[in-house]
């Protein structure tokens, strides 16, 4: 025991205990808020992408990292949120505070419809079911685009245009999502998820309804993802089926693998990694002078390197970036004693 005791319920549910933690956190917040004034437009755009991606990544982490269910329909859910926003905008000129909850509702409904059949069972049936979700949603989206004449996509008027405003909006959204998830995980639902991830039979024996827990994980995750999709639509100002491919799903899966399963921090770290990775490869190639010669194969190098990195993390570093972070942190904490 380190000497920090919790003496009342309020302290028990607090996320930060010690004064040192609170001080570091305050510094972190100040740095975050200073970002849009300190960096150029390129990095600001990357920061915005990271914040937006983190919402989807946290949603997927809840489902796969904590409740242990594989979903391959992430792009479909993002598309559902984005298209709900686009359709409501075009048909009813709906404002932002209508489309956001509507997207969440659509996401939750899809989660219910596609989750019910597959979550009664053990195994990988959710993965299969969500694959069906992906194709069906994309098909519906393409039908809408064609039937209403938006063959190059649906243009959406965004309430925010300045990148700095977007930064703060996305920062708020991301923070809310993370807080929501952290609290959810510490609640009864979250504990039920951890139990079913561990051993389903034991969880059932303890009185946790496994089916309900899995379903709640999928519905909540889908609602969050659809909200991310809605924000996507406003951020880009544009919705079209081509933007939601299976590769997008794989990128999100990579975010949680690389970040480290079973950790919200992992979701954020994974997002940072996946968003910056292609730019890092480009910079590396440019700096090493191979840029010009290999410019036509940069994509392939990116792709292959991406797959390689995922495999590396799965096989050698299953705890992901979070695992590395924890090792580094523990090394500092225990210094000068050696970590065993």
Q: Which member of 300, 328, 333, 334 binds other proteins (CB under 8 A)?
A: 300
Max Cα–Cα distance, the chain, nearest Å: 68
Q: How far apart are CA 229 and CA 251, in angstroms?
A: 15
CB 69 within 8 A of CB 189: no
Min dist. Cβ of residue 179 to other proteins (A): 26
CA atoms within a 13 Å half-sphere pointing along the CA-CB vector of 22 = 6
Does position 180 bind other proteins by CB under 8 A? no
Instruction: Find the shortest distance in angstroms from Cβ 126 to other proteins.
Output: 10
Q: Is the dihedral of CA 110, 106, 270, 283 positive or negative?
A: positive
CB of 222 to other proteins, least distance (A): 16
Find the DSSP H helices in the chain.
9-13, 19-38, 41-60, 74-92, 96-119, 125-147, 163-186, 188-198, 200-205, 210-236, 246-259, 264-287, 298-315, 320-334
145 or 222, CB closer to other proteins?
145
Interface pick for other proteins out of 90, 182, 265, 302 (rule CB under 8 A) = 302
Determine, following the binding rule CB under 8 A, whether residue 228 of this chain makes contact with other proteins.
Answer: no
Residues 248-287 that bind other proteins (CB under 8 A): 250, 253-254, 257, 278-280, 282-284, 286-287
- Could you say which DSSP state residue 163 is in? H
Closest to other proteins by CB, 108 or 254: 254
Q: Is residue 290 at the binding interface for other proteins, with CB under 8 A as the rule? A: no
Between 29 and 294, CB nearer to other proteins: 294
Nearest-CA neighbor of 218 among 58, 67, 52?
67
Stretch of residues binding other proteins (CB under 8 A), selected from 35-43, 221-229, 262-270, 329-337: 35-43
d(CA 110, CA 56): 16
Our finding on whether 38 is near other proteins (CB under 8 A) is no
Among 35, 131, 290, 324, binds other proteins (CB under 8 A): 131
Question: How far apart, in whole angstroms, are the C-alpha atoms of residue 107 and residue 91?
Answer: 19
* Site membership for other proteins, residue 207 (CB under 8 A): no
* Interface pattern 135-164 for other proteins (x via CB under 8 A): xx--x--xx-xx--xxxxx-x-----x---
Min CB(303)–other proteins separation in Å? 3
DSSP state of 117: H
The answer to the question of residue 314 lying near other proteins (CB under 8 A) is yes
* Window contacting other proteins (CB under 8 A); options: 99-107, 245-253, 262-270, 324-332: 245-253
Q: Which of residues 55-114 bind other proteins (CB under 8 A)?
A: 64, 68, 70, 72, 114
d(CA 299, CA 247): 13
């Amino acid at each position: 025991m380190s000497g920090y005791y919790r003496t009342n319920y309020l302290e028990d549910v607090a996320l930060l205990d010690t004064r040192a933690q609170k001080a570091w956190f305050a510094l972190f917040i100040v740095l975050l808020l200073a970002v849009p004034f300190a960096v150029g437009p390129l990095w600001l755009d990357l920061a915005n992408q990271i914040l937006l991606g983190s919402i989807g990544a946290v949603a997927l982490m809840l489902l796969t990292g904590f409740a242990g269910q594989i979903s391959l329909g992430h792009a479909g859910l993002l598309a559902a949120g984005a298209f709900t926003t686009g359709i409501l905008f075009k048909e009813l000129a709906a404002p932002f505070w209508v489309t956001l909850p509507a997207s969440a509702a659509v996401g939750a409904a899809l989660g219910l419809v596609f989750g019910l059949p597959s979550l009664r069972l053990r195994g990988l049936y959710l993965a299969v079911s969500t694959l069906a979700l992906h194709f069906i949603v994309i098909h519906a989206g393409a039908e809408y685009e064609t039937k209403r004449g938006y063959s190059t996509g649906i243009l959406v008027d965004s309430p925010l245009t300045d990148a700095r405003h977007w930064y703060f909006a996305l920062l708020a959204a991301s923070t809310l999502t993370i807080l929501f998830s952290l609290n959810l995980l510490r609640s009864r639902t979250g504990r039920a998820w951890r139990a079913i991830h561990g051993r389903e039979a034991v969880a059932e024996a303890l009185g946790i309804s496994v089916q309900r827990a899995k379903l709640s994980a999928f519905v909540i995750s889908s609602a969050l993802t659809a909200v991310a999709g809605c924000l996507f639509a406003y951020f880009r100002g544009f919705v079209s089926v081509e933007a939601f491919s299976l590769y997008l799903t794989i990128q999100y899966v990579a975010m949680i693998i690389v970040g480290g399963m079973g950790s919200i921090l992992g979701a954020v770290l994974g997002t940072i990694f996946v968003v910056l990775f292609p730019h890092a490869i480009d910079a590396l190639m440019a700096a090493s002078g191979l840029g010009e010669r290999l410019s036509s194969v940069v994509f392939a190098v990116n792709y292959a390197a991406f797959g390689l990195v995922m495999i590396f993390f799965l096989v050698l570093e299953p705890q992901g970036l979070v695992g590395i972070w924890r090792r580094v942190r523990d090394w500092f904490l225990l210094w000068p004693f050696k970590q065993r």
